[in-house]
Chain A
Amino acid sequence: MKSKLQLKSVSKSFGTVVVIDNLSLDVATGELVCLIGASGSGKSTLLRCINLLEPIDGGEIWLDDFDIAEPSLDPDPIRRRIGLVFQSFNLFPHLNVMANITLAPRRVLGTGVAEAQAHAMELLERFGLADKAKAYPDHLSGGQQQRVAIVRTLAMQPELLLLDEITSALDPELVGEVLDVVRALKDSQMTMLLATHEMAFAREVADRVCFLDEGRLVESGLPSEVFTAPREKRTREFLARVLS
């Protein structure tokens, strides 16, 4: 299968701290890859780099047939092709759900109001949020906010979706509804790179699991391999810690 995303020896440091260390990774079109690893292992930073929110210090990031990390490129047209959903939702508190979702299509893609709203409504209906279109983020539960945040990203029709611990800020009883969204997206062949602490979920949905440790890709493979028979000592130690 053709690669949607190819990371080639990507490195990123903050000051003298190396956060991503010579990391290479492929994500095929339609594939769901889960990133696992301890807190501080660089999962969020990696996703922010792929979305060009952080410049990388070395290596290449290929999206289809272009190295998008090329500094001379204008990042805005690239970002709109890659969706990023944050742990803390980051909805715009001064805009209602509908305006949150339609802002980017209208301003970035130049979609007309009616069309943008119709598309947003379709997405809201698909994820059971149609009655929340006029609500403000403050008045939604965490799970609803996160689902709106996903819808807001989907409204830009991204080719690649990056999900950064999208259930970590949620009460346990709200995690399920958000994970259901990811399952639905997987069924619709969305290409996704998902950082998560939900090992059971990663095991269930991932096509491939990648274990990150101190910015390095230590091990990657099928969930059945990585979770049941990890090859690397570090992976074993990490899994022993989080699964116990």
Chain B
Amino acid sequence: MPKAPGWLAVKNSFFNWDILVKTFPKLLSAFIVDLKIFLWSAPLIFVLSLCIALARNTRRPALFPLRLFGALYTDVLRSVPVILLVYLIGFGVPGLGLPRPYNSPYIWGTVALVLVYSAYVAEVIRAGIESVHSSQSSAARSLGLSQSDTMRYVVLPQAFRTQIPALMNFVIALLKDVALLSFIGPIEILRQANVYKSLMANFTPYVGAAIIFLCVTIPITRYADYLLARQRNERTT
């Protein structure tokens, strides 16, 4: 690699130590914005996706509209590229001319992420619910537990357990996809790197941003793998 003719130029514009050192603190503080968006969208996604999964799972004829809504929701939102929804909602809703704190692309971009991720996570939860054998609910119902208690104490805990690895993947994906909001406004890490790139005519800030992502996502990936391995062991012993 170092022998390649363009190596020096690349080294200078991508791996410039001085620029890295100079921009890193600011990138790090911009990453706090990513983390904040992540931390308040993750619980919202959890709640919304659980509601959708439960809606899709109802068998009562009276609740059929709810079921239909759940199905439509997951189908539609999973069929559109995330970035497109971030644009549409992040720019579209503030364009309605809402009063001040509510017209921020920061909020609506996050809403877009929450909506899309809820659709995916709802499907993961639903698959988890379906993986719990019906004899478990039979046993719970035969003991007199209500339908909602059966779901809450017997089915969902098992559903989540089987889906931990898949859910962890979405945690990692969400953390990375927060950077998509850089296209619509908030000065998060990718946006900050972009600013530096233009300012310094150098790509090293992107590398800095990548390093920061790696430092956070790799431990989470490892942890997810660890959980997966542990689960496999539990099943076999």
Contacts and interface: CB of A to CB of B under 8 A. Distances in A.
A and B: partners?
Answer: yes
The 10 lowest CB-CB distance pairs between A and B, nearest first, are: A80-B144, A90-B139, A104-B143, A84-B142, A108-B144, A79-B144, A90-B135, A94-B157, A107-B149, A51-B142
B157 A108 contact: no
Interface in A136-167: 138, 149, 152-153, 156
Contacts of A112: none
B64 to A, nearest CB: 19
Given A76-B146, A156-B144, A138 B136 contact: no
A86 interface: yes
Interface string A88-109: 1011111000000001100110
Among B135, B139, B145, the one with the most A-chain Cβ atoms within 10 Å of its Cβ is B139
B148 to A, nearest CB: 10
B158 A86 contact: no
Interface string B130-152: 00000110111111111001000
Given A86-B138, A92-B139, 18 more contacts: A48-B138, A76-B144, A77-B144, A79-B142, A79-B144, A80-B143, A83-B142, A83-B143, A90-B139, A92-B140, A92-B154, A104-B140, A107-B153, A138-B237, A149-B139, A152-B143, A153-B142, A156-B143
Contacts of A138: 234, 237
Nearest to B138: A53
Nearest to A74: B146
Interface residues of B, number: 19
Contact of A103 (B138, B143, B237): B143
A90 B138 CA distance: 9
Contacts of B141: 53, 76, 79
A51 B139 CA distance: 11
A94 B161 contact: yes
Contacts of B157: 94
Contacts of A83: 142-143
Interface of A: 48, 51, 53, 76-77, 79-80, 82-84, 86, 88, 90-94, 103-104, 107-108, 138, 149, 152-153, 156
A96 to B, nearest CB: 13
A156 B144 CA distance: 9
Contacts of A108: 143-146, 149
Contact of B135 (A86, A94, A103): A86
A83 B140 CA distance: 11
B142 A103 contact: no
Nearest to B143: A104
Contacts of A77: 144
Contacts, number: 63
B73 to A, nearest CB: 29
A86 B139 contact: yes
A104 B145 contact: yes
B13 to A, nearest CB: 53
A88 B136 CA distance: 10
B3 to A, nearest CB: 57
A93 B144 contact: no
A153 B158 contact: no
A153 B138 contact: no
Nearest to A103: B153
B143 A153 contact: yes
Interface centre among B135, B138, B161 (most CB of A within 10 A): B138
B83 to A, nearest CB: 38
A92 B136 contact: yes
29 contacts: A48-B138, A53-B141, A76-B144, A76-B145, A79-B142, A79-B143, A79-B144, A80-B144, A84-B142, A90-B135, A90-B139, A92-B136, A92-B139, A92-B140, A94-B157, A94-B161, A103-B145, A103-B154, A104-B144, A107-B145, A107-B149, A108-B143, A108-B144, A108-B145, A108-B146, A108-B149, A149-B139, A152-B143, A156-B144
Contact of B142 (A53, A94, A107): A53
Contacts of A79: 141-144
A108 B237 CA distance: 33
B101 to A, nearest CB: 42
Interface string B155-177: 00110010000000000000000
Contact of A88 (B135, B146, B234): B135
Contacts of A149: 139
Contacts of B135: 86, 88, 90
